[in-house]
Amino acid sequence: MWMMRQAGRYLPEYRELRAEKGGFLDLVYDSEAAAEITLQPLKRFPELDAAILFSDILIVPFAIGQNLTFVTGEGPRLTPTLLKDDLDELTAYPARLDPIYDTVRKVKAALPPSMTLIGFAGSPWTVATYMVAGQGSRDQAEARRMAYSDPAKFGAIVERIEEVTLGYLSAQVKAGAEALQLFDSWSGSLSPAQFERWVIAPTARLVSELNKRHPTVPIIGFPKGAGGKLAAYARETRVNALGLDETVDPVWAAKELPEKLPIQGNLDPLALIAGGEPLEEAVRRTLDAFATRPHIFNLGHGILKDTPIAQVERLIALVKGDE
């Protein structure tokens, strides 16, 4: 059991450190602070089974040469966007990834051996949506349009991300990561043919190469919003575990997905805030559905910043009390 965004704003100790140290990106690049933040939820909730590296999926575009800033209340900005500019006008700075490996090493050194250290990256499709538009967007319209209108250019962007991501994840493993998650936050907006081309194909190549290089390190794919395409994703990417978002019915998923595939997920973060009956019912539904296969309990999305600590304690008791 772990929780997406478990090192984050719902924790008073995180808010304190952040107020002291400055912006989000400052924290990510201060490997001392990033390691401390990664470890905060494990200190508070020692029943959790894994640490997830405190970082951001947009470190990869930053290393490819875009400028990265976080605008308070509005989210990330990447410049120049790739709507007009081309990839080869960017100067790559691979050294921008180095502080992240320092964080991994520091966390690994401090983490009890019973806890797993999870590294991560964004999937090529999701990272490309940000690189093209320069920011998050409601339905990834810019990237989806470029994927149709200029598949050569869009394919080159995806390929470059894939190549950098492969090196990045591999280096995280060498620094101490014991499992890897691929966040595909925007996989939900694609038609089936585009999903096959831009989500499944690059993910399958990454999984195949990473499994070859690091056979003991499982890759968790998390294609948010994939809905009815989850089974195809699982079958064709050959991810070693599959993360489900909170909109997926676990009963349906248990029936639909390959029988022995480990599943991760998928409590509604709003049910965690609600507590009481809705929380207990949702936890029960997920635990029961995946009782007969390997199951990593998690939320279906990042924990929300106004989640009461007492509710998290209640959740852990519900899940761990069940074992």
The contact set with its own copies (CB under 8 A) reads: 138, 144-145, 148-149, 188-195, 225-232, 246-253, 256, 268, 270-271, 273-274, 278, 281-282, 285, 300
Q: How far apart are CA 14 and CA 214, in angstroms?
A: 32
Q: How far apart are CA 272 and CA 277, in angstroms?
A: 10
What is the closest distance, in whole angstroms, from the C-beta atom of residue 321 to its own copies in the complex?
A: 21
One-letter amino acid identity for 321?
A: G
- Residue whose CB is less far from its own copies, 72 or 149: 149
**Annotated catalytic residue, options 10, 29, 56, 245:** 56
- Residue whose CB is less far from its own copies, 5 or 144: 144
Structure tokens at 33: 């602070």
Q: How many helices (H) and strands (E) does the chain have?
A: 15, 9
For 162-188, the DSSP string reads: HHHHHHHHHHHHHHT--EEEEEETTGG
Structure tokens at 308: 């009461």
- Residue whose CB is less far from its own copies, 116 or 194: 194
Q: How far apart are CA 290 and CA 17, in angstroms?
A: 37
- Residue whose CB is less far from its own copies, 251 or 309: 251
Q: How far apart are CA 235 and CA 204, in angstroms?
A: 10
299 beta partners = 267
For helices 31-44 and 98-110, angle between their N-to-C axes, nearest 10 degrees: 40
What is the closest distance, in whole angstroms, from the C-beta atom of residue 148 to its own copies in the complex?
A: 4
**Annotated catalytic residue, options 10, 18, 29, 168:** 18
C-alpha 287: how far from chain center: 22
**Annotated catalytic residue, options 14, 29, 130, 168:** 130
What is the closest distance, in whole angstroms, from the C-beta atom of residue 227 to its own copies in the complex?
A: 2
State yes or no: is 197 an active-site residue.
no
Instruction: Count the Cβ atoms, other than its own, within 10 Å of residue 110.
Output: 15
What is the closest distance, in whole angstroms, from the C-beta atom of residue 220 to its own copies in the complex?
A: 19
What is the closest distance, in whole angstroms, from the C-beta atom of residue 21 to its own copies in the complex?
A: 28
Structure tokens at 142: 């810019």
State yes or no: is 5 an active-site residue.
yes
One-letter amino acid identity for 236?
A: E
What is the closest distance, in whole angstroms, from the C-beta atom of residue 244 to its own copies in the complex?
A: 9
State yes or no: is 130 an active-site residue.
yes
State yes or no: is 268 an active-site residue.
no
- Residue whose CB is less far from its own copies, 65 or 275: 275
State yes or no: is 105 an active-site residue.
no
Asked if residue 244 lies in contact with residue 265, where contact means CB atoms within 8 angstroms, the answer is yes
- Residue whose CB is less far from its own copies, 201 or 232: 232
Active site residues: 5, 9, 18, 56, 130
